Amino acid sequence: MKFLYRRLQALAPLFEKGGRFERLYPLYEAVVTIHFGSSDTTRGRVQVRDALDTKRFMILVIIALIPVTLFGIYNVGYQFYAAIGEPASFGSMVMKGLTVFMPILLTSYAVGGFWEVLFAVVRKHEINEGFLVTGLLFPLTLPPTIPLWQVALGISFGIVIGKEVFGGTGKNFLNPALTARAFVYFSYPAYLSGEVWTAVSSSASRLVGYTSATPLGVAAATAQPQAVTDALSEAGYTVMHCMIGLIPGSIGETSVLLCLVGAAILIVTGVASWRTMVGSVLGVVVTATVLNGLVSDTTIPFLGMSPLWHLVVGSFAFGAVFMATDPVSSPDLKPSKWVYGFGIGVLTVLIRVVNPAYPEGVMLAILLMNVFAPLMDYSVAEYRVRKRIPNGL
Amino acid sequence: MKKPERITIKKVFDVRFKGEPSPECRVLPVSPRIGVSLANLPSIKPKLVVAESDTVVQGQALFYDKTNPHVYVHAPVSGTVHRLVYGPRRQLQCIEIATNSALPPLAFERLLTPPTSAADTKSALLERGLWAYWRQLPFNTIPRPQDTPPAIVVQLANPEPFHPRLSAVLPRVANDITAGLRILQTLCPTIIVVADANESINLDDWSDMAQVVRVDADFNHCSPGAAIYHLKDSDTYNHAWYCDWQFLVKIAQTFATGVYANQSYITLSGYSDTADAHYQVTDGMDLTTVAPPIAKRMVWGGLFSGIAAAESFFLPVGIDAVSWVDTTETVSLMPFLALGAAKPSFTRAYLGHFLKPFTPPSTALGGSYRDCVSCGHCETVCPVHLMPQSLLRQVNADDTDTAIRYGLLDCTQCGVCTYVCPAKIDLSAQFTATKDRLYNEVNA
């Protein structure tokens, strides 16, 4: 290992300023540091530095995503065999899940990595580890039936327009993974809504008379005088089902329980803000409670969905834990994190319930609040600055 | 000025390093050569009044500051000017003196009671070459003698790791500190003595002479800038003067004996288990006589705000701690995947945060330079409640007015924001550079 390290170090002059492959320095830097970390030493007056770096920061997000990813792979296979009505072993379910998920993941990483490297080389900035997270988050928000060319287009839009045109990770104001998903969602709506949540073609599912409507789909389609809860239990959904997550949905979003595991990892390691998460839960609870109070015979039944159901269905848990807490696109200051989280919760429920065209509102809620994050920070900062005793020239 | 006896600060920065020097205080003889190094004299534009091979005596002026022509720096020992060392653009860096202890020191008038007026005290300090030890907020520069300080902060503890502890030498200097405070009283009615609440020192003797504040020591909060920030109730105190206890000892001894006091207390750390201790040394001491060069980075001052010493081994004026920091490179596969039980970390991302491994400091950067990811760690450690990440944006955008409004001049340049940054951005350096630029613009 030391030998390999020395060999890599020996190549450094080729890539440094004036070297033959000077332009490819970001690629070289990425290869060396991803294997051995950085060997830089401190400059300037601060002689010692903390062990935490952005690689650790991002890798912890990926570790927190492993449970939902593994479960997502299993669930894709589980839903497939449930849909075609065949009994199957655990192994074959996982195999089926892998054959569906791995191509999506690899496409996302390969295309996303291509853009990241291209921009790093042209714009002369380092290749940022952030794309490893984006490249994993994006596939987890997709249905298993997504065509690979759409994955490629989506991640390209997310990385290029969502991030790189602004200067790369750290300069983006939108969550790149959600930007990618929004692009696919609005460009190819038929592929991201309706009966797309199980990895079988719709003709096959018709064969066994199986419907793969998600809980949100069921709730949105409920008509008076039936209550949402009744419709959901009629479709076979209970709160417990949704917590465990063996239900149709986007690959990574279904298991609320494992999202909570991820949340625990992120909070314990201090990577994600618990304020954002708690704020968004509060937002959902408050808004759903208020809307529940407005229910009458003339309103749509969706309005009456209880706060608990709002929390466990759809991608709320996944979004609040992994998407909303992206440090770059969420606000910097603690008070604004509360407002930001709360706003996500409010908007999620409003978009779900009030606008029948979008049964799921998490993605749009987070992107919208991303846009307002700088304004929140500005307001909090100005408030704090007013309280300071001025120190001018 | 607020009048608490104790300040407890909520912001926590509790990373501790192995290598605290032993409290034993050894006395070192004067080295054959002494160097008056300007490395730690900010904003001074030196004009020499001696030349190479001149004979100088202890207490004789060596140079003055062109912008403050009454501020002289005096020779700590008698001897011959051996060499004048110039840096880039012929900037004076160091005056080397070959020691000759046979020459008697310059005799000043002995002042057994403190001067009666501020003007007398000032001229006594200026005459004896002691003015250059003063510092003034917010730019940490040497104050102008004609100004009146709104407050004087006396620092009894330097919160950075491995600095001299007053408790180690208190019996030798307690009377001098009392005498020094009497002298300061003539300059300004508001004197604030800042002590570390975790250091057991009896402060009762001084509490009727000055406002004594114990700071429940989170890292760097008992620095003068941070103390003023937490105590001030109006912006008059932004330009407070400050000094440390060693300055009080120096002025008290010089006034009482009529001889320029040339002794300081310093610590050595990170050198070897036997050498790491407190030392009483002559100013400008040649450290190679006690600590020959080793394969570590030698740092003048603190780990967070020190200067990496390049070639010179003469103790610079006003430096009281010398650390040697490990530069060994450790190669491991994918270090960011480790549990990190042995990695000291402020953040919970490594187990070291919980286990407190107590490792010696190292110069490893621990990562690569990246753009700010808005993690917010810098904000949680800033001793003066700045929002470093927002401030950095204003500084980068060259919006100095907003930066000042956001509290740039409150920045104590403690370096803790730089320490915690996972993107390895040197926030502190950028704030310092902006402050220096502002100072030069204002005083041009």
B12 touches chain A (CB under 8 A): no
- Look at strands B241-244 and B152-155 and give their pairing: parallel
Q: What is the pLDDT at residue B27?
A: 93
State which residue of chain B sits closest to A34, comparing Cα positions: B334
Query: Are residues A54 and B422 in contact, defined by beta-carbon separation less than 8 angstroms?
Result: yes
Nearest residue to A49 (alpha-carbon basis) of B362, B405, B60, B177: B362
Rounded average pLDDT over A75-80 = 91
Spatial neighbors of B65 by CB under 8 A, at least 6 apart, are B44, B45, B46, B47, B71, B72, B132, B142
Is the model's pLDDT at A334 over the cut of 60? yes
Q: How far is CA B112 from the centre of its chain?
A: 29
Query: Taking CB atoms and an 8 Å cutoff, what residues of chain B touch A38?
Result: 365-368
What is the least distance, in Å, from the CA of B386 to any CA of chain A? 9
Tokens describing residue B315: 């103790």
CB B235 within 8 A of CB B203: no
Report the C-alpha gap between B226 and B416 in whole angstroms: 13
The DSSP output letter for B320 is -
Interface contact B368-A33, CB threshold 8 A? yes
- What is the arithmetic mean of pLDDT over A337-350? 96
Residue A288 predicted with pLDDT over 90: yes
Q: Compute the mean pLDDT over every residue in chain B, rounded to the nearest whole number.
A: 89
Tell whether the model's pLDDT for residue A245 goes beyond 50: yes
Tokens 């060392």 correspond to: B85
Read off the pLDDT of residues A211-240 as tens digits, 9 standing for 90 and up.
567 888 888 888 777 888 888 888 888 888
Lowest model confidence (mean pLDDT) among A197-211, B198-212, B213-227:
A197-211
Do A296 and A304 touch, CB atoms closer than 8 A?
no
Using the predicted structure, report yes or no on whether residue A264 has a pLDDT greater than 90: yes
Given this model, what pLDDT does residue A296 score? Answer: 83
Q: Which residue in A49, A115, A105, A25 sits closest to A72, CA to CA? A: A105
Residue A303 confidence (pLDDT): 86
pLDDT level of residue A346 (50, 70, 90 thresholds)? very high
Dmax over CA atoms of chain B, in Å, equals: 68
Nearest Cβ partner for A46 among B343, B364, B419:
B419
pLDDT at B253 over 90: yes
A206 confidence band (pLDDT: 50, 70, 90)? very low
* Distance from the B41 Cα atom to the nearest Cα atom in chain A, whole angstroms: 15
The average pLDDT across A75-92 equals 89
Q: A59 vs B336: CB contact, 8 Å cut-off? A: yes
Q: How confident is the model at residue A207 (pLDDT cuts 50, 70, 90)?
A: very low
pLDDT digits (tens, 9 = 90+) for B127-184: 999 999 999 989 999 999 999 999 999 999 888 889 999 988 988 899 999 999 999 9
Minimal CA separation from A231 to chain B, in Å: 43
Q: What is the pLDDT of residue B123?
A: 92
Strands B22-27 and B277-282: parallel
Residue B431 pLDDT > 90, yes or no?
yes
- Tell me which of A300 and B278 has the higher pLDDT: B278
Q: Which of A343-347, A352-356, A384-388, B394-398 has the lowest mean pLDDT?
A: A352-356
Q: Measured between CA atoms, how close is A323 to chain B, in angstroms?
A: 15
Percent of chain A with pLDDT over 70: 97
Q: What's the gap between Cα B310 and its chain centre?
A: 19
Cα–Cα dist B195/B170, whole Å: 13
Binary contact (A170, B423; C-beta < 8 A)? yes
Say what the ipTM of the complex is: 0.90
Write down the pLDDT at residue A241: 85
pLDDT average, residue stretch A107-119:
95
Q: What is the tens place of the pLDDT at every residue in B31-58?
A: 999 999 988 887 788 999 999 999 999 9
Token couple for A224:
């008076």
- Answer for the pair B243, B155: CB distance below 8 angstroms, yes or no: yes
Q: Which residues pair with B192 in a beta bridge?
A: B153, B211
| pLDDT of res. B278 | 94
A210 has pLDDT over 60: no
Which pLDDT does position B299 carry in this prediction? 92
| pLDDT of A338 | 97
pLDDT, mean of residues A377-392:
92
Per-residue pLDDT of B113-137, as tens digits, reads 888 889 999 999 999 999 999 999 8
Q: Do A37 and B15 touch (CB under 8 A)?
A: no
Residue of B nearest to A63 (CA): B337
**pLDDT tens figures, B372-398:** 999 999 998 898 899 999 999 999 999
- Min Cα separation A385/chain B (Å): 6
DSSP-derived 3-state class of residue B84: strand
* B60 has a pLDDT exceeding 50: yes
Residue whose token pair is 């076979």: A236
- What whole-number distance in Å separates Cα of residue B258 and Cα of residue A289? 81
> Six-digit token pair at A192?
């991201």
Q: What is the pLDDT of residue A205?
A: 47
Query: Cβ–Cβ of A385/B405 closer than 8 Å?
Result: yes
Neighbouring C-beta atoms of residue B412, cutoff 10 Å: 25
Which of A48-62, A173-187, A199-213, B272-286 shows the lowest per-residue confidence on average (mean pLDDT)? A199-213
Spatial distance between the Cα atoms of B442 and B440, rounded to a whole number of angstroms: 5
Confidence band, pLDDT 50/70/90 cuts, at residue A366: very high
Determine contact: B375 vs chain A, CB below 8 A. yes
- Give the model's pLDDT for residue B221: 66
